[in-house]
Amino acid sequence: MRAVLCGAALALTIAPAMAQKSPYADYQRMAAENAPVELYELAGEEAWAKKQGPKNVSLERCDLGQGPGVLKGAYAGLPRYFADADRVMDLETRLLYCMMTLQGRAREEATKRVFGNADHASEMEVLSAYIARQSNGMPIAPGTSHPKEKAAYALGQKLYFHRAGPWDFSCASCHGEEGKRIRMSELPVLYKPQYAGPLMATWPAYRVSTSAFVTLQWRINDCYRQMRMPEPAYASDATVALIDFITVTAQGTPYRGPSIKR
């Protein structure tokens, strides 16, 4: 009896590449239902209203694309082109812009600790949690019509397939073919909507393996770390372009985050 059970278990372990439904689907559903993301949303609500910087004002007048202070649906509409900055911006890049313009903070100070840890989440992380929640249920709809939005998509696509560094990796080295895994982790093919959709619908997220809340800027940064490349600057055109490329690929998918990741 035991041998039969073990055989079945082994088959399950080996099957994921071929399975229609991910063997982790139940895990991901239950873990998402039981994720501690609300703690970060609470902290984000406070950070949004906190007066700080040389101008001693909050971020409450920050325009995330839907008008000053409008949070509903703002995350689902990003990245997009902002005329005031003449740039395509994702959520974190836009928040940084507001910190610098509205609050008068220096870039160096505002980006000193953008990636937190299990003991202490960063301001950007908690703000991302709070703001993303208010797009829950809305379709992902980044800007795609402005020439700079088109350029960001094109650059992101080129970067995605660009092989470089000591290990000759591009994003597509791991996220380029269907049905592949790294260890037991299934690899979403992020230039295809059927993979980009479910993935982008759940970022930012509480990351189980580090017990920390993480953002898309972190995700891109950490991919380049593991690709053995130098470090991309936070909120740079390169990181925004990659986020834009994958978000545009995911467009139309209802956003259901913030959620949980392995």
Q: Are strands 80-82 and 87-89 parallel, antiparallel or unpaired?
A: antiparallel
Is 86 an interacting residue with respect to other proteins (CB under 8 A)?
no
Task: List the one residue from 7, 26, 61, 85 that touches other proteins (CB under 8 A).
Answer: 26
Nearer residue to other proteins within complex by CB, 103 or 259: 259
Nearest distance in Å: CB 185, other proteins: 4
Nearest distance in Å: CB 82, other proteins: 19
Return the ∠ at Cα 208 (arms to 203 and 209), rounded to 5°. Answer: 115
**Residues marked as catalytic:** 223
CB–CB of 71/57 below 8 Å?
no
Closest to 195 (Cα-Cα) out of 249, 121, 255: 249
Stretch that binds other proteins, among 72-80, 96-104, 108-116, 227-235 (CB under 8 A): 227-235
Task: List the one residue from 128, 249, 253, 259 that touches other proteins (CB under 8 A).
Answer: 249
Task: List the one residue from 111, 215, 239, 247 that touches other proteins (CB under 8 A).
Answer: 239
User: Which string of b and e fits 98-107 if b means at least 16 CB within 10 Å?
Assistant: bbbebbebee
Site residues for other proteins, window 174-213 (CB under 8 A)?
174, 177, 179-185, 187, 191-193, 208-209, 211
Site residues for other proteins, window 115-174 (CB under 8 A)?
118-119, 150, 153-155, 157-159, 161-169, 173-174
| Burial tier of 139 (Cβ tally within 10 Å: 0-12, 13-18, 19+) | middle
Closest to 79 (Cα-Cα) out of 155, 137, 130: 155
Nearest distance in Å: CB 221, other proteins: 10
